[in-house]
Amino acid sequence: MKPCSILTIGNFDGVHLGHRHIIEHLIQFASSSAYREQFFEKHQELIPYYRLDMQTNPVSCLLTFKPHPASVLGNKFYIPLMTYEKRLGVLNAFPLHNVEELPFTKEFAAKTSEEFCEFLAGQYNIAMLFIGHDFKIGRDRAGKEKLAELGKQYGFAVYAHAPVLLENKEIISSTKIREALLSADIKKANAMLGYAYHLSGTVQHGFNRGGKLLGFPTANLLEDTLIVPKNGVYATKVKILDPRFTENMQSPEFFGMTNIGYNPTFNNDCRSIETFIFDFDADIYDCEIEISFYDFLRNEKKFNSAEELIRQLTEDKQNIQTILTANR
């Protein structure tokens, strides 16, 4: 039989501060008998259903779904905050015993919450399930109350973490992070994530206006498969990920000015993600870069001339320099 495990499960999209709180709590619980004793002093109602003695360290296990349930269940409106590969890499960086990918199929989605708990008990020999306050599973969408009852039936305790809040008492969630990005509230999104939101991709050829016409050459990314913030101008930082450049760079990160939108001054018919990289002059076409967002500067605007646009871009650069210097 597999060793007893304590387990958490979810999509962990963005691996935000709420996710990290649960994962870090799980790790501490698994590695410290003193921590377990303190935990059960506060939650004595769970003691009868936790079948390990306090001195035995359980195996810490995290389950995440592949592919994302939204893609299987046909939610066309769901756009992730992080690629699956990036998310798995971040999760594997935590000192957990196991990070496992759980294949999410239509057959799996058809399981009831009781069938799901039976699966966990049989497959993972689970002693404790840690979940978020709003976690739901099974085709009956069972939440913490029903899961706690099912846990008693299948021999494990269930602990639902309280929501993690910002200083203004707002609950941190992936949904609220998406909403913040789509409304250009970058500071709020980053506060919930615990890091600067970023997009990455390969630099493409653009319209060849930035350098030749405006004096602001830009690195252009294709429309990303992740959430792209609202159209406008942003203070960003840029990492060049190609080893041909990183080996000889004094700094791995540059200040940047990123415009997302349709360039109304030139009436583009497709949205672009263009970044002017400060103090950088090299051909990085076909190189991968990562753009991290720190603040929203202004909305897109149609200018009457290229000269007027150049004046605004010069002012934007100065403002961004001030913003990012304060964020060093």
Instruction: Identify the CA nearest to 310 among candidates 188, 179, 214.
Output: 214
Choice among 114, 167, 179, 274 that is catalytic: 274
**pLDDT at residue 266, as a whole number:** 65
Q: How many residues does the chain have?
A: 328
CA distance 256 to 320: 8
Q: 61 - beta bridge partners?
A: 7, 98
**Dihedral (CA of 208, 210, 214, 217) sign:** negative
Q: Which CATH class is domain 5-160?
A: alpha beta
Mean pLDDT by 10 residues, the chain (328 residues): 84 96 97 96 95 92 89 80 93 96 90 94 94 91 94 95 92 96 97 96 70 67 84 95 72 88 72 90 87 96 85 93 89
Structure tokens at 187: 């500071």
Query: What is the reported pLDDT for 212?
Result: 47
* Amino acid 177: pLDDT: 97
What is the reported pLDDT for 254?
A: 92
Q: What is the pTM of this model?
A: 0.91
Single out the residue of 107, 102, 99 nearest to residue 138, CA to CA. Answer: 107
Q: What is the pLDDT of residue 4?
A: 74
Contacts (Cβ under 8 Å, ≥6 apart) of 50: 40, 127, 128, 156, 157
Strand partners, 289: 201, 240
45 carries an active-site annotation: no
CATH superfamily of 195-326: Riboflavin kinase-like (2.40.30.30)
- Cα(127)–Cα(4) distance, integer angstroms: 6
Residue extents of the structural domains in the chain:
5-160, 195-326
